Structure 1
């Protein structure tokens, strides 16, 4: 971990010459996690100026931000607060890439193409030639000029320029040798990942000077509470999921389609049963099953069968009627006799008329 911090500090001092940017990175590495209010105290600058200094560091992936939902003490309204920390692995990779890109750019700038170097020149007409152009122009004293036929000499300017370019590349490699040694040492060491959860565990509060009027804002905010649990920033989400309640269901596409079709059919049957009309609404008193009266309508075949049954029942009824006393009893005996005598007189009058 110390090797990674040393590499990050060296990279900031090399590529970011602003003093406050160096202070920001050193403070973050010292306190592990810092909020904008803490940097305001350390730098004695406005938040707007601090963010303008941190943005290049964030672009270079040396500093990252993490939002944390917190609420003030005595209030339930959450507010997002940004914290700054230095991730080790992304920062190391970014430094490696920047060094390799810088070395490649310098080499491409100062290292000329060997096939396009004009190492020979004419002292008379000042013409310059490449080695491939004068291979077939050989005289008694050496290579000669194609224009004035003067003997060519080596171009000392190109040689000096070439030596100067090699010197610049060598100087760059000497300056980057310190980075190469640190990177090689880091590659041989297991560097832990400094994510936000790990950095939060090692967080050190920034001391406030008494009487300065600046209070510790960390005491004024508490983590956002959800239900009976606090927001778990170590796991990057709310600590409301129990692993025991998680299940993994592996099904194929055909099984899912079949289950979906079964659920749709069950729902269709349930809705059809729920929306079914009552019997009194679907079956009317007047229709194909009734004749408009209180008695049910019958077909001719049913009428014939009914007459035969009535005849058989009539014969049996006559036999039973002989044994039954049809005279009324008790209080209505007199009324029955009077009515019976009236019927007898009407029968006699009818016989006389005949």
Structure 2
């Protein structure tokens, strides 16, 4: 991990160290390497800058894959609803792959600017450092001294092995990026530890704030996107259903018996009461005969 951190720190200083680029990119990378993972307000405190500018600079570093972003909901002390908080950290595996890709494209771009062999500048002037191709010096030659420089009239030196033009740019680039090209094979020969947000946050160094810039403590809230059980909606139904299938075409003996008992109950409930079967005159059973007039 030390070698990977050294590479990322050096790359940040190489590609973000020019007057046209905000050099605070380098300081942010250094802060993340030291602290492992930082919440945006803590990083803003260390950089003495507002969150808007911080997010803008970190967006560029994220585009170059030199840092990663993690967002999680947190509940601040004294608040009722959680808010999303942004954390920054470095995934060294992704950063190394991005560095390889960038160096490869730079090398291809410089090689594309190299002149073909037919246009190679093999004549150069020791006085003014001018370079010329063979076709360019044919019209100015001294029978005794040889080819003459068009710029200062000094004698040109012929050196076909000398790298010039685009080859010089390629050589210069290789010399400038040698520390990268020498480090990458070493990293390929070893296993770079995985550095996820959980890993980086677990190893994070706390930010020590002064008394006038204390941050309100907060706790992590589980994401509401995960499905959770609703309170009071526990499943109280049967866990399994047993189905018994028979091949009988008609009702079974149990069904016949149950049907007989059902009919007897219906008959009993439909029977007339005893007072209805007795005569209201004689008190005997049977129907009463009407009186003759």
TM-score of the aligned structures, taking structure 2 as reference length: 0.61
Does residue 33 of structure 2 align to residue 34 of structure 1? Answer: no
Q: Retained in 1: the 8 A contact 2:110–2:166?
A: no
Structure 2 unaligned spans of 5+: 121-132, 141-155, 230-280, 284-288
Does the CA contact (< 8 Å) of 2:73 and 2:222 recur in 1? no
Distance 1:120 1:196, change over 3 A: same
1:222 to 219, 222, 225: 219
Once the two structures are superposed, the pairs formed by residues 164-313 of structure 1 within 5 Å of their partners are 164-210=165-211, 213-217=212-216, 219=217, 221-225=218-222
Query: Paired residue for 1:137?
Result: none
Residues 1:164 and 1:225: Cα distance change in structure 2 (over 3 Å): closer
- Residue deviations 1:147-197 (CA, integer Å, cap 9, x gap): xxxxxxxx9799699524333322211121110111111111111111111
Q: Which residue pairs with 1:101 in the alignment?
A: 105
Question: Quick check: 1:38–1:206 contact (8 Å CA) kept in 2?
Answer: yes
Distance 1:81 1:188 in 2: 37
Does residue 78 of the first structure (1) align with residue 68 of the second (2)? Answer: no
Equivalent pair of 2:115/2:165 in contact (CA under 8 Å): no
Residue 56 of structure 1 corresponds to which residue in structure 2?
60
> Partner of 1:91 in structure 2?
95
**SS in structure 2 opposite 1:163?**
coil
Aligned twin of 1:10: 10
Structure label with greater radius of gyration: 1
In structure 2, the CA distance between the partners of 1:167 and 1:330, relative to structure 1 (3 Å rule), is closer
The offset of 1:113, in angstroms, is 2.2
- Secondary structure of 1:216's match? coil
Q: What's the secondary structure of 1:22's corresponding residue?
A: helix
2:270 corresponds to? none
Matched residues in 1 for 2:168 and 2:282: separation? 150
CA distance in 1, matches of 2:162, 2:209: 58
CA contact under 8 A between 1:70 and 1:79: conserved in structure 2?
Answer: yes
Structure number having the greater helix percentage: 1
| Aligned 8 A contact 2:38 2:87 in 1 | yes
> Per the alignment, in what secondary structure is the counterpart of residue 82 of structure 1?
strand
Q: 5+ residue gaps in structure 1?
A: 127-154, 232-236, 242-328, 343-354
Check whether the contact 1:119–1:159 (CA below 8 A) recurs between aligned residues. no
Aligned counterparts of 1:61 and 1:37: Cα–Cα separation in 2: 21
TM-superposed CA distance for 1:225, in Å, is 4.8
TM-score normalised by length of structure 1: 0.51
- Cα deviation code 1:279-337 (max 9, x no counterpart): xxxxxxxxxxxxxxxxxxxxxxxxxxxxxxxxxxxxxxxxxxxxxxxxxx979xxxx9x
* More contact order relative to length (CA 8 Å, sep ≥ 6): 2
Q: Is the Cα contact below 8 Å between 1:88 and 1:193 reproduced in 2?
A: yes
- 4+ residue segments displaced more than 6 Å: 155-161
Q: 2 CA distance for matches of 1:82 and 1:165?
A: 45
Q: How many equivalent pairs are there?
A: 206
Deviations 1:119-173 (A, max 9, x none): 445745x8xxxxxxxxxxxxxxxxxxxxxxxxxxxx9799699524333322211
